[in-house]
Amino acid sequence: MEERKSKGMKLRFFTPILVLVCIVLVCTFYYAYWKSKTEIIDLGGTMFKNINSNMIGFMEAMNEEVKAGNLTLEQAQETVKTYVLGPMRENGVRDIAGSRMSMNSKTFAWAVKTQGDERGVLAMHPSLEGKNAWNVQTQGKYTIQDTWANRQIADRIVEDVWQNPGKPVETFLAYQSYFGPWDWMVGIGGSKEDLYTERLEEIEVMFIAIGILFVIGGGLFVIYVNRLRGTLGRSIRMLTESAEQIIGGAQEVAAASQSLAEDASEQAGAIQQTSSSLEEMSSMTRQNADNAKQANHLMKAGKTSIQSANDSMNQLTASMDDIVKSSEETFKIIKTIDEIAFQTNLLALNAAVEAARAGEAGAGFAVVADEVRNLAMRAGDAARNTAGLIEITVKKIKDGGELVGQTNSVFAEVTQSSDKISDLIGEIAAASDEQAQGIEQVNTSVAEMDKVTQKNAANAQQSASASQQMRGQAEKMKDFVEDLTHLVGKKEQKRTPMPERSRPQRAQKRSSKSKPAPPPYKPREQKAEKRAPAPARREVSPNEIIPLDDDDFKDF
Amino acid sequence: MKRMTETMDQAIKAMGEREGKYLTFTLAGEEYGIGILKIKEIIGMMPITPVPRTPQFVKGVINLRGKVIPVIDLRLRFGLEAEEYTDRTCIIVVEIPGESGNVMIGIVVDTVSEVLNIKADDIEDSPAFGSRLETDYILGMAKMEGGVKILLDIDRILKSEEINLLESTS
């Protein structure tokens, strides 16, 4: 399974890449090879040209010396040769190690005569000096005739084939120019191979090394990619699961938020009801307090009334006492009257006695005495009656006094009670006031609670829409993950059935059960609406959320 | 003198004339009557000077306008319950015959009522309660509206030796 997968992956993915990389590498190699070669040749040519011009300059200087007569031509030429190629040894070969211009056996300078009899004579050469090489043929080419002694191709870089004695045939790169005064075709050059072989070899080695490294790296990369693929597969699976979970979660969150919003709006309604109830309660409590205050005032008024009544009662008691005193005085007077009546009665009786003693003569007197006695008796009776009446009056007054006393004490009790009642009512008033204040505070708290609940409702609404949005995005993410799965080469997994069907239905049921579709909570404050600018409607490109482009995969 | 009085009494009795004016008074709620001619004077209660070694019913003596008169309490004499004297308590000064002429004696009664003219027809003899009881001090029973008044023979209320004693005290 793993094999097949990796093969598939290679085929799908890495083979073109590898081929492309190989082509690029080879092209690069060839280009680098060719470029290096060209560059080296150019460089060598330039170098040779420079040396050549130096040599020409030197030769001109020597020629000037000859013209000045300081040196002979031979001397001058010898100086040049020695300078360039080193001193001549006995075997006719110049010691090139003694060259002041750092010549060697492979890179060296020469001069060929081009005119007259000496045409083709090598005027200067490390080993063939003085020899005519006009007809020397190397690999079928007349190098001297065609190139070295050819004035037509002076002052340019040339290529030729040359073989030094005892050395293999080599392709020479050289720069040659013509020094007229001495009829020298001066050239300087070196084995082309020597110039660039080493470097090209280096390049080759380098490229081989790169190739090997590339192969190794490719292998490692494939292994790594396989591993990565496994990890990626797992990641994708997990990502898919996560996306599904996110979808489910988002739905749940949406449902929960919705119900939360509904609950919050219900709560807000309840809180408003509570608030209005509290306001009613507050007004009632205030009324209570007012009533208690009024009752207190009334109680105070009643207290003063009771006080005045008490005073009146006291006055009444005093009056009654006075009456009793007066009655006693009257009683005394009546007693005196009674006494007088009694004495009169006695006198009348004595008179009667005397009249009786007088016999017939006292008869008239006896009548008078009897009348006097009758009067005395009446007076006495009247006095007695009056006394009785006064006694009764006094008794009644005393009873009344007792009653007044009792009433007084009752009034005192009433006063005390009213004092207590007044205090209690005052306390009630104060308590009602405090209660009203407390209710006021509770009311403000409830108002704050209301605000908070409304905010909550708005937030829940917002979060519901956000979770909806999230769900959409998760769906999109899931699609992307599927695309990714395709790309990675996994067989398309069966789409796990979305919880879309079950959950929203449940949510629907729940919402339908909870209440007959309460209208979506509209926060009273406009701010809340502004804060939640209907995010559900805005189509969000998934790229905004998951910026995965095809380029990203190509980077693989 | 004695004879003369006796004769007078006898004459009165003989006349059967118990009829006449009586001073009535109350004693322990009962009405009594005394013949008005026996009465010297009626006075209110006045300070009584007690006299030692006298019977209990003798309250003492009073000074009636310069004359010392013995006073007896009729309640005590009649064996009734003694009562505190009030402002209605009166002293009836009577004149009774003694060994040495008439003697004035004060009799303390509860109240003095009136002078009544009682006819002979309304007076009856005291009923015979038996020989043992002394009723000779009762002159008769006066039938009045609503009750009976006992008419007292004031001369017989006190015995002669008692009168003598009183005479001696005065």
Note the pLDDT tens digit of each residue in B116-155.
888 888 888 877 666 656 677 888 889 888 788 999 988 8
Judged by a CB distance cut-off of 8 A, whether residue A341 touches chain B is: no
Alpha carbons A391 and A379: distance in angstroms, whole number: 17
Residue scoring higher pLDDT (A484 or B96): B96
Alpha carbons A92 and A127: distance in angstroms, whole number: 7
> What DSSP state is assigned to residue A524?
S
pLDDT of residue A1: 44
Task: Kindly list the residues from chain A whose CB atom is less than 8 angstroms away from the CB atom of residue B43.
Answer: 346
Alpha carbons A421 and A164: distance in angstroms, whole number: 148
Judged by a CB distance cut-off of 8 A, whether residue A363 touches chain B is: no
CB contact under 8 A, A346 and B43: yes
CB contact under 8 A, B44 and A350: no
pLDDT of residue B170: 64
Judged by a CB distance cut-off of 8 A, whether residue B87 touches chain A is: yes
Mention every residue, 6+ apart, whose C-beta is less than 8 A from residue B103.
B95, B96, B97, B163, B166, B167, B170
Task: Kindly list the residues from chain B whose CB atom is less than 8 angstroms away from the CB atom of residue A346.
Answer: 42-44, 90, 112
Token pair in block for residue B56: 């209990």
CB contact under 8 A, A346 and B42: yes
**Among the listed residues A390, A404, A381, the one whose alpha carbon sits nearest the alpha carbon of residue A331:** A390
Residue B40, min C-alpha distance to chain A (Å): 8
pLDDT of residue A518: 44
Judged by a CB distance cut-off of 8 A, whether residue B39 touches chain A is: yes
Using the structure block, give the residue that is written with the tokens 């404050």.
A525
CB contact under 8 A, B44 and A346: yes
Task: Kindly list the residues from chain B whose CB atom is less than 8 angstroms away from the CB atom of residue A383.
Answer: none
CB contact under 8 A, A349 and B43: no
User: How many Cβ pairs closer than 8 A exist between chain A and B?
Assistant: 40
Alpha carbons A62 and A353: distance in angstroms, whole number: 226
Instruction: Indicate the burial class of A555 (C-beta count within 10 angstroms; 0-12, 13-18, 19 or more).
Output: exposed
Using the structure block, give the residue that is written with the tokens 């919880």.
A499
In which band, very low, low, confident or very high, does the pLDDT at B6 lie, cut at 50, 70 and 90? low
Mutate to test the interface with B, among A335, A340, A349, A371 (most CBs of B within 10 A): A349
Residues 120-149 of B with CB under 8 A from A: none
Which residues of chain A are under the pLDDT cut of 50?
A: 1-7, 10, 492-542, 544-547, 549-550, 552-556
pLDDT of residue B130: 66
CB contact under 8 A, B88 and A370: no
Judged by a CB distance cut-off of 8 A, whether residue A358 touches chain B is: no
Instruction: Tell me the HSE value of A490 on the side-chain side, using a 13 A CA sphere.
Output: 19
- Cβ of A355: how many Cβ atoms within 10 Å? 22
- Pure H helices in A125-191: 143
- Pure H helices in chain B: 2-15, 74-77, 154-157, 160-169
Provide the sign of the torsion angle of the four alpha carbons A215, A220, A226, A232, taken in this order.
Answer: negative
Alpha carbons B102 and B2: distance in angstroms, whole number: 9
CB contact under 8 A, B41 and A342: no
- Pure H helices in A489-554: 502-514, 526-531, 542-545, 550-554
CB contact under 8 A, B44 and A357: no
Mention every residue, 6+ apart, whose C-beta is less than 8 A from residue A76.
A59, A62, A63, A65, A66
pLDDT of residue B91: 94
In which band, very low, low, confident or very high, does the pLDDT at B12 lie, cut at 50, 70 and 90? low
Q: pLDDT tens across B31-74, in order?
A: 999 998 889 999 999 999 999 988 888 999 999 899 999 999 99
List the end-to-end C-alpha distance of chain B, in Å, as a whole number.
Answer: 20
Residue B116, min C-alpha distance to chain A (Å): 10
Residues 301-340 of A with CB under 8 A from B: 339
Task: Kindly list the residues from chain A whose CB atom is less than 8 angstroms away from the CB atom of residue B42.
Answer: 346, 349-350, 353
pLDDT greater than 80 at residue B167? no
b (16+ CB within 10 A) / e for A374-412: eebbebbeebeebbeebeebbeebeebbeebeebbeebe
pTM exceeds 0.80 for this model: no
CB contact under 8 A, B42 and A350: yes
Task: Kindly list the residues from chain A whose CB atom is less than 8 angstroms away from the CB atom of residue B39.
Answer: 353
pLDDT of residue B89: 92
